[in-house]
């Protein structure tokens, strides 16, 4: 069983030609709402794309915004542990998606910031605890400490990025971040490889967008090239990656296998609009991978060079 503790938001999505700059007004073409939030997205990815037994812990308001989020989670067969927070709204996110599939996101946390250490359920039967940083850092630290004491692997997606205390880093088994988050946490403008070496966590995984990902695991660097798709919306691609990665590890995959499956899930999520609505199911991920040719040596070499690695193990 995977326990995902994190945020739940209702996403308000506008498609437009481009993302507006400061002071700019852009006319959008369409508007839709989708269930979202990094925590909820990753819980859906664990259960749907990863096929793993998953429980989701979140704080939500007593409002209508919570209803579609809960319905989406139940549809993905996620077991729910919802904490109701009176007088606070369920979290919301306002997203602009451009024609080139990039996005800009503003989050109003609402009830998410009320998830506290007292809300952690019994961890019996839990193999992995997956969290993000859209809930209070004190809560993340308390949950990590409880998991460590009970032998549960702690996985943290350091998004949105903020400074992480050394005590928390000591409790984390796997840290997942993107390039911007890696640069911020490592405090260096060095290569991807050197930045990964500066973070004192046993396993650190950095997603590299369409290029794929790179990990420092058990003292070795692992590379997984990305997969070619026609992107529509990159929202929840990272969440699909995180959830699929943890699900694969929880069901016995080794790290290279888990990275490959996570990259595939993230790529497929880019081909659809929305957050949870874009996350593929396990059969789709498997079928997609079965159709992929072996990694091109030139692609691997280019990824090695990009990451600042003279050699790597796939």
For 7-41, write each residue's pLDDT tens digit.
Answer: 999 999 999 999 999 999 999 998 999 999 999 99
For 265-282, write each residue's pLDDT tens digit.
Answer: 999 999 998 889 899 999
Sign of CA dihedral 94, 280, 66, 61: negative
pLDDT tens track, the chain, 314 positions? 999 999 999 999 999 999 999 999 999 998 999 999 999 999 999 999 999 999 999 999 999 999 999 999 999 999 999 999 999 999 999 989 898 888 888 989 999 999 999 999 999 999 999 999 999 999 999 999 999 999 999 999 999 999 999 999 999 999 999 999 999 999 877 899 999 999 999 999 999 999 999 999 999 999 999 999 999 888 889 999 999 999 999 999 999 999 999 999 999 999 998 889 899 999 999 999 999 998 889 999 999 999 999 864 44
The SS3 assignment for 101 reads coil
Measured between alpha carbons, how far is 88 from 274 in angstroms, rounded to an integer?
25
The answer to whether 239 is a known catalytic residue is yes
**pTM (2 d.p.):** 0.93
Going along the chain from its start, the domains and CATH numbers come out as 2-19+30-307 (3.40.1190.20)
Measured between alpha carbons, how far is 35 from 39 in angstroms, rounded to an integer?
11
Measured between alpha carbons, how far is 155 from 130 in angstroms, rounded to an integer?
5
Which pLDDT does position 311 carry in this prediction? 62
Sign of CA dihedral 230, 236, 238, 243: negative
Single out the catalytic residue among 11, 239, 254, 287: 239
Sheet arrangement for strand 54-61 = 79-85, 54-61, 2-5, 128-131, 153-157, 174-178, 203-207, 212-217, 220-225
For 136-169, write each residue's pLDDT tens digit.
Answer: 999 999 999 999 999 999 999 999 999 999 999 9
């Amino acid at each position: 069983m995977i326990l995902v503790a994190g945020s739940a938001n209702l996403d308000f999505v506008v498609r437009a030609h481009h993302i507006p700059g400061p002071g700019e007004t852009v006319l959008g073409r369409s508007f839709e709402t989708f269930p979202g939030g990094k925590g909820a997205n990753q819980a859906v990815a664990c259960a749907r794309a990863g096929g793993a037994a998953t429980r989701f812990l979140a704080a939500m308001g007593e409002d209508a915004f919570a209803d579609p989020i809960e319905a989406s989670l139940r549809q993905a067969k996620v077991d729910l542990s919802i904490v109701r927070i009176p007088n606070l709204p369920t979290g919301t996110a306002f997203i602009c998606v451009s024609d080139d599939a990039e996005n800009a996101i503003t989050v109003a946390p609402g009830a998410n910031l009320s998830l506290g250490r007292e809300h952690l359920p019994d961890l019996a039967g839990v193999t992995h605890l997956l969290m993000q940083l859209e809930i209070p850092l004190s809560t993340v630290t308390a949950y990590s400490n409880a998991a460590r004491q009970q032998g549960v692997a702690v996985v943290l997606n350091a998004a949105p990025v903020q400074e992480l205390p050394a005590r928390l880093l000591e409790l984390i088994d796997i840290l997942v971040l993107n390039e911007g988050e890696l640069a911020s946490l490592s405090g260096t403008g060095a290569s991807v490889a050197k930045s990964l070496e500066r973070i004192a966590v046993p396993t650190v995984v950095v997603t590299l967008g369409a290029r794929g990902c790179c990990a420092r695991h058990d003292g070795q660097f692992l590379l997984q090239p990305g997969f070619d798709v026609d992107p529509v919306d990159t929202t929840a691609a990272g969440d699909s990656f995180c959830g699929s990665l943890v699900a694969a590890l929880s069901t016995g995959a080794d790290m290279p296998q888990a990275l490959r499956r996570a990259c595939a899930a993230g790529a497929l999520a880019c081909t659809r609009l929305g957050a949870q609505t874009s996350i593929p199911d396990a059969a789709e991920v498997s079928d997609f991978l079965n159709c992929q040719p072996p990694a091109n040596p030139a692609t691997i070499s280019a990824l090695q060079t990009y990451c600042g690695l003279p050699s790597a193990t796939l």
